[in-house]
Homo-oligomer: A and B are copies of this chain.
Amino acid sequence: MTGGGLDRFFHPAAVAVVGASERPESVGYALLKNLLFGSMRAEPSATARGDGFPGPVYAVNPKGGTILGQPVYASLAAISRPVDLIVVAIPPRFIPALMPEAAAAGVGHAIIISAGFSEMGDEGRRLQDEMVAAARHGGIRLIGPNCLGVLRPSARLNASFAESPPPAGAVGLLSQSGALITGVISFAQREGFGLSAAVSLGSKADVEDEDVLTWLAADDETRCVALYVESFPEPRSFLEVARGLAARKAVVALKGGATAAGARAASSHTGSLAGSAAAYRAAFAQNGVLQAETIGDLIDWSRALAHQPLPAGNRLAVVTNAGGPGVLSADEASRRGLELAELSPATFAALDEVLPEVWSRNNPVDVIGDATPERYRDALNILGRAPEVDAIVVIMTQQAMTAPLETAEAIAAAHEEPSWSKPLLCSFLGLVGTEVGSLLDRRGVPEYNLPESAVGALAALVRRARWLARTEPPPPVDLPHPDPDLDAARRLLREAREAGHDNLPLDRAREVLAAAGIRYNRSAAAADAEEAVRCAEEIGYPVVLKVISPDVLHKSDVGGVELGVVDAAAVRRACRRIVERVGARQPGARLGGFTVEQQVSGTEIIVGVSRDPDFGPLLMVGMGGIFVEVYKDVAFRLVPLTRRDALAMIDEIEAQPLLDGARHRPRLDRGELAEILLRVSALIEAVPAIAELDVNPLVITAEGLVAIDARVIAGG
């Protein structure tokens, strides 16, 4: 019994390959060779193990014999020395029975490489359940099945069938796809960056993402966690762990199936439902996980996050010996939300001292095509001390006089000065994979093929710095909203369900949201046109008239709304027109009269809640009205959310100038909107019978936010 810890997966005392094989094209051979010699490419030798795992490695196969110079044991029991980790590549039907045998041999950890379990339908799923039950009974933790395995380069452990290991380093890689791991390893080898660990989780029968994240959080070698995921069995539990991890170390996640097309592809290939893209995006944003869109971003960002300090702000200086790449860096910085630092007179004067007369006198700092290593070093020393510069990207292109290796050395030396404190990334166009690039990477300065990649990675550092620096603001005072009454909301939902209303009548929907403390424009229900006139006179013109019907979901779609109704005659006319249009467009819809509402105008917000199959309730805020479907200028967060989350999602709305009161419109009080989001979040938590909800529009008025329409769908 080894308990639940994962450490032995990465630091076993002794390893056995169950299913070791002498056929060089088999997985059982690859696993044994990788453990013994570190790499499939190694020249096997019976005496020297080279870069192989330094502890005992045993081959197990009932056939016996020798493989790669090693004796083959017929069973785990036959080894008769301690084994704590097994790597398994035998047909799946034999694996459940292997578990008690392994437990008896003292094994606490097993990596199941074999495929043929849950991805193979019901029978495979039964076999998987059987294997897991047997493992649990024997106190064995399982990684896999259907996975590539585990690599721990610093321990010279290649318990996988990856052809060769990456250099040891500071990025911990966790992937649902083994192919992503082999791909990243190829990049790591060529571009000279290192991994602290690589774990392929496959079908996640036992060990899940959150287990590995917990281990990586405690692992001293890991400074950044890179993650490829398609779906989680328990998304909420993953998030809790990810949030704790992100507080200590940078986490970058690439979500496969981030688009509808990708999600369809993912669901077919893993047999698991890929969560909705918006929910994942919200979950990552809310928990400090940086979401990459491409493999390139995942790699580029992780390298920077593992090796560079975080910047104090977003003001970038570019040092370059060529104009064009400098210009392109500035373009990319602008696209990524970074600013080019405005250099101070003092910095200008200092640069004037060390640079030739024709230098750009601008940022990008063009140190000119004939720049020497000393010139780069001098410019870096000055920019490293300049308080107006938060981060630096250095570009070098091969020109006639360029001394790439010496320049790399000068950059690395500047970076190693004790006073150096800013992030520094390099791009030596086209020199990646040469000695120049690896010198920098070895010295902790990530070097990228393309300047755009360096700038993109820097933007990730800025986002991480902002996440860590976030603070929880105090609640606002004196809100013009009534106190929430969650008991009333519960009662309303119960009544609606009893009455068979899944889509709550408008008046009930408004009451539910009023119970969450949301304020409405004045309104009244009228049975007919004459009553509507009386209501309108009381509310005050102009008013809005809307059809009341249990059968109509989107009133404006069926012509059930009249705006700007200004007097009694107009009210009668509007009622008549509504009845005509609804009758024509949705024949048979039951009509229950009209609501008469105070017409409130201003910028329109939408607040909504939907249910994600993986993550549960998902809160949305954004620009409302007709534009919500066109520009989709909305942001999502998972329920429950903090005040900080609420403010962050408001900040994600693109149309900030409208929120700020462009063109003399009333200005949004962000604290008030955040409060409404928190109340809706609390409502959803307290009343799980609410399946969906929309407040649209929520109008920004001079007197605060006023809701006009609401939709509540019961369910669950």
Contacts and interface: CB of A to CB of B under 8 A. Distances in A.
Interface stretch (A95-103, A235-243, A427-435, A675-683): A427-435
A544 to B, nearest CB: 13
A78 interface: no
A328 B261 contact: no
Given A294-B332, A399-B182, A633-B631, A176 B430 contact: no
Q: Give the interface centre of A257, A324, A399 by most chain B CB atoms within 10 Å.
A: A324
A290 to B, nearest CB: 17
Interface string A386-401: 0000000000011111
Contacts of A629: 657, 662
B265 A364 contact: yes
A58 interface: no
Given A186-B429, A258-B331, A324 B398 contact: no
A119 B323 CA distance: 12
Interface in A274-307: 293-296
Given A265-B330, A331-B257, A663-B626, A324 B179 contact: yes
A335 interface: yes
A268 B330 CA distance: 12
A566 interface: yes
A339 B260 CA distance: 11
A212 interface: no
Nearest to A632: B654
Nearest to A570: B566
Contact of A183 (B325, B340, B362): B325
Interface stretch (A24-32, A244-252, A666-674, A692-700): A24-32
A442 interface: no
A420 interface: no
B328 A662 contact: no
Interface stretch (A485-493, A505-513, A556-564, A590-598): A556-564
Interface string A377-393: 00000000000000000
B178 A322 contact: yes
Contact of A27 (B178, B326, B400): B400
A182 B397 contact: yes
Interface in A627-674: 627, 629-631, 633, 654-655, 657-658, 662-664
A230 interface: yes
A451 B658 CA distance: 39
Contact of A323 (B179, B360, B452): B179
A179 B30 CA distance: 44
A220 to B, nearest CB: 28
Interface string A348-368: 000000000010111110100
Contact of A333 (B261, B269, B557): B261
Contacts of A222: none
Contacts of A119: 358
A559 B328 contact: no
A525 to B, nearest CB: 24
Contacts of A120: 358
A177 interface: yes
Given A323-B177, A452-B295, A663-B626, A261 B657 contact: no
Given A433-B190, A626-B662, A265 B327 contact: yes
A334 interface: yes
B662 A630 contact: yes
Contacts of A362: 264-265, 268-269
A562 to B, nearest CB: 13
Nearest to A658: B630
Interface residues of A, number: 103
Contacts of A161: 399-400
Contacts of A407: none
A154 interface: no
Nearest to A451: B295
B176 A559 contact: no
B331 A256 contact: yes
A344 interface: no
A451 B557 CA distance: 43
Given A259-B334, A260-B334, A362-B269, A324 B626 contact: no
A663 B259 contact: no
Contacts of A189: 430
B259 A335 contact: yes
Nearest to A585: B664
A254 B189 CA distance: 30
A552 interface: no
Contacts of A467: none
A325 B326 CA distance: 32
A626 B334 contact: no
Q: Give the interface centre of A182, A257, A331 by most chain B CB atoms within 10 Å.
A: A331
A557 B334 contact: no
Given A261-B330, A293-B335, 8 more contacts: A178-B324, A179-B369, A182-B430, A257-B327, A264-B340, A626-B663, A631-B633, A631-B654
Interface of A: 25-27, 30, 119-120, 161-163, 175-180, 182-187, 189-190, 228, 230, 254, 256-262, 264-266, 268-270, 293-296, 318, 321-335, 339-340, 358, 360-364, 366, 369, 397-401, 429-431, 433, 449-453, 542, 556-557, 559, 564, 566-567, 626-627, 629-631, 633, 654-655, 657-658, 662-664
Of all A-B residue pairs in the complex, the 5 with the closest CB atoms, nearest first, are A186-B430, A177-B324, A179-B322, A183-B429, A262-B331
11 contacts: A179-B399, A182-B397, A230-B324, A259-B331, A261-B339, A265-B323, A265-B340, A268-B362, A557-B663, A629-B662, A630-B654
